[in-house]
A and B are shown apart, each in its own frame.
Chain A
Amino acid sequence: MAEMTLQAVPESLDRVLEFIDETLERSQFPAKVQVQINIAIEELFVNIARYAYRPYVGEVTIRVKTEERPPQVTIRFIDQGKPYNPLKKEDPDVTLSAEERKIGGLGIYMVKQSMDEIYYDYLDGKNILTIKKKAD
């Protein structure tokens, strides 16, 4: 298992993605899955960075666990900001025309569509969001 704790600010995104890429390097996930994981990390991290502690700044811990049989990765985001379950956000209607579309809500929707599992807990004052993705 690998873990990193850093300030939850959008500027930290590149460091988070580097950390995830390094951790996944040995697991040889297909390129397509790696991109899906990168997108999920970006969407979830940026959400926390923008909203969890607003207007203050706090920390987020990211835990990555890879397994080999079957090859899969579990990534957990832990913050101590305002209780917020992003999974409760209503899915955007992806059949609307450009004019009718609202901006927003697409990020978490993409994460839900691309990950195998996603769940949220609020425990001891902490938001804990977990995603799981299999290699195939």
Chain B
Amino acid sequence: MKITKSKENSALTLALNGRLDTNTAPELETELKASLDGIETLVIDMEELAYLSSAGLRVILAAQKQMNKQGRMIIRKVNDMVMEVFEVTGFTDILTIE
């Protein structure tokens, strides 16, 4: 998985490219831990995300909890496959998906 970062003041965008699975979820977790300080808006761009399993959901849930404390999190450009995973697990109700 490739993570592309762009930051503007207190807004951070992470664009995910590839698979967010057991092997790659720790990369996103590490990136979030290192980057969320002082961030009020976190955007996760999923346009190029081809696959998402529960390991990825765990990291997304942790990010949502963190951002609930310090601002907001927005998920963008979710494809049908990833959306189905969000729907089955009820994540559509706890995430802001645009």
Contact = CB atoms under 8 A, between A and B. Distances in A.
SS class of chain B's interface: helix, strand, loop or mixed?
helix
A96 B57 CA distance: 15
Given A46-B22, A113-B88, A98 B58 contact: no
Given A42-B21, A106-B58, A98 B65 contact: yes
Interface stretch (B1-9, B10-18, B36-44, B48-56): B48-56
A32 B58 CA distance: 22
Contacts of B81: 31-32, 35
Contact of B54 (A10, A43, A96): A43
A42 B57 CA distance: 13
Contacts of B57: 106
B55 A109 contact: no
Contact of A110 (B51, B62, B89): B89
- A interface majority secondary structure: helix
Nearest to A50: B22
Interface string A79-96: 000000000000010111
A23 to B, nearest CB: 18
Contacts of A109: 88-89
B89 A46 contact: no
Contacts of B93: 95
Contact of B85 (A13, A39, A92, A95): A39
Interface of A: 10, 13-14, 31-32, 35, 38-39, 42-43, 46, 92, 94-99, 101, 103-104, 106-107, 109-110, 113-114
Interface of B: 21-23, 51, 53-55, 57-58, 61-62, 64-65, 68, 80-81, 84-85, 88-90, 93-94
The 3 closest A-B pairs by CB, nearest first: A94-B90, A107-B54, A106-B54
16 contacts: A13-B22, A13-B23, A14-B23, A32-B81, A35-B51, A35-B81, A42-B22, A42-B55, A92-B89, A94-B88, A95-B93, A98-B68, A98-B94, A99-B65, A101-B61, A110-B88
